[in-house]
Structure 1
Amino acid sequence: MFEAITPDLSIVIFTLKHRFDRVRPTFLHTKLGHLFPVPDHPAYPSGHSTQAFTIAYLLKELDPANADTYLKDALRIARNREIAGFHYPSDTGAGRVAARKFVDVLLSNAEFKALLEAAREEW
């Protein structure tokens, strides 16, 4: 199920990144240290945030009892990218909103619903 949506999610993320073309905090504040190479694509929305929240929202569909844990983990992943100097909080927020809208579209798609049902059977 996750492999099936990854190409479409990447298109959504990079379409938004190139539309807004926001520079990263490390570009504006060159004294920010970073332990990893800074990605050379725009910051907004955070791709990690969008991916993590998409996964959390889908896991919530499969395992509603642990929804809070999945959402907390997604937020931790996103905030760690802020701490690393790669994103602003608004990048994280935009990723979360994009993920919610992406998942809502998926949940209205019959082909995806079949994948979700197959995943539920495996769960």
Structure 2
Amino acid sequence: MRKDFLRWSEVPYAGESTPPTNPVTPLAGSWSLVYLKRDRNGNFLDPNGRKIQLTITNPNRIDFERELRIVQKTLEKLTPNQKKIAIYYLTGAPTKQWTPVIDRLIDTYGVGPTDAARILASVQGAINDTMIIVWDLKYRWNVARPNQYDQKLRTLLCTPRFPTYPSGHATLSGCAQVVLSYFFPKEAKKLQKIADNDALSTLYAGVHFPADIDEGLKLGRYIGTVIVNHLKTQLNSDLKPIDHPFRNFLNANIFPDDYKQFIPFNFPNTCTSLVEKDKKTHSTSKENYIQFPKPLLYL
């Protein structure tokens, strides 16, 4: 069934009087790719030049009014732990929380310098391509945010200035999970847990619909798989695979300690849309600082 949905560029955020006029990097969907390609018609291609069928539901098939009710109920019943998850994963750009995960895995498994460089390049290159696809879809579909559907909605954190569907955090996390699991297969379950928490953080914050998250994770894992399949085909001068995934399990310490930042930074505290005024939630400590519009540019 076709569902009409509100357009991000046409409706004000809760607490604001005009639709958003400051879109973040609206042309990022056209930026240069690392592993994937793009044809003259704008279709995305795999590394071998074959058209890829993006695994994501068209927003016309999503009931965003129903999705909104889930967001509203989630915000009404947030637990202290869910608030911590939201604050932790939404502080800084989405790559902020994955960077220390990669470093911990490299350190724990004693990865050599060239292999470490390849792992970092592979994950970040895949993330680059993933975010370009996300931005292409966000601005192509132009789906409104939860606080545009509900003009009284007070979110836990500030809503970023670009369309909602799909979630950048969710899609990036799904991709990062898959690529890192290729290099460190025994850590796969833990990496999936981090990806799920990162994605769910946006629902707990009230800035994304469940569909943004579910479809984003699915899409990110698909893109990650396409890129991993390409990495597996790459050979050295002896015609042997470049990569040698670590088959042992060293149980790397990749989870945050009580959701305190691995890399603290004191972000600014301003927001023009409605946010929850819970002083206990709005910590100003460097370890657990909530970010607002500028740091949330990449959600």
| TM-score, normalised with respect to structure 2 | 0.37
- What's the counterpart of residue 56 of structure 2? none
The sequence identity of aligned pairs, in percent, is 27
Return the letter of the residue paired with 1:56.
Q
Query: Which residue of 224, 230, 235 maps to 1:109?
Result: 230
Residues 1:15 and 2:136 aligned together = yes
Partner of 1:98: 219
Gaps of 5+ in 1: none
Partner Cα distance (1:7, 1:66) in 2: 23
Q: 1:119 to 1:40 in 2, by over 3 A?
A: farther
User: Which of 1 and 2 has greater Rg?
Assistant: 2
CA contact (8 A) 1:107 1:113 kept: no
1:5 aligns with 2:126: yes
Instruction: Quote the Cα distance in structure 1 between the aligned partners of 2:154 and 2:233.
Output: 41
Amino acid at match of 2:169: H
Structure 1 residue 79 displacement after superposition:
0.9
Question: Is the CA contact (8 Å cut-off) linking 2:178 and 2:225 kept in structure 1?
Answer: no
- State the distance in 2 between where 1:110 and 1:77 align: 25
> Matched residue of 2:163: which SS?
coil
Q: What is the match of residue 57 of structure 1?
A: 178
> For the structure 1 residues 67 and 87, does the alpha-carbon distance in structure 2 shift closer, same or farther, using more than 3 Å as the test?
same
Aligned counterpart in structure 2 of residue 27 of structure 1, from 148, 171, 180 = 148
Tell whether 2:195 aligns with 1:74: yes
Flag the 1:119–1:25 CA change in 2: closer, same or farther, 3 A. farther
Residues 53 and 99, structure 1, Cα contact 8 Å, conserved in 2: yes
Q: Deviations over 1:34-54 (max 9, x none)?
A: 343311111111000011111
Contact between 1:106 and 1:112, CA under 8 Å: does it hold in 2? no
Shift of 1:108: 3.2
Post-superposition, which runs of at least 4 consecutive aligned residues in structure 1 deviate over 4 A? 110-114, 116-121
Instruction: Classify 1:45/1:119 alpha carbon distance in 2 versus 1 (closer, same or farther; 3 Å).
Output: farther
Whichever structure has more helix as a proportion of its residues is 1
Q: Between Structure 1 and Structure 2, how many residues are aligned? A: 121
CA–CA distance in structure 1, aligned partners of residues 208 and 198 of structure 2:
12
- Supply the RMSD in Å over aligned alpha carbons: 2.6
* Secondary structure, aligned partner of 1:71: helix
TM-score, normalised with respect to structure 1: 0.82
Does residue 86 of the first structure (1) align with residue 207 of the second (2)?
A: yes
Q: Deviations over 1:29-81 (max 9, x none)?
A: 23222343311111111000011111111121122212111111111111110
Unaligned 5+ segments in structure 2 are: 1-120, 236-240, 247-299
User: In 2, are the aligned partners of 1:54 and 1:100 still within 8 Å (CA)?
Assistant: yes
Structure 1, 30-39 or 104-113: larger mean CA deviation: 104-113
Summarize deviations over 1:72-115 as a string: whole Å, max 9, x none: 1111111110111111111001111111221122123359857x
Tell me, yes or no, if the aligned pair for 2:126 and 2:176 is still in contact at 8 Å: no
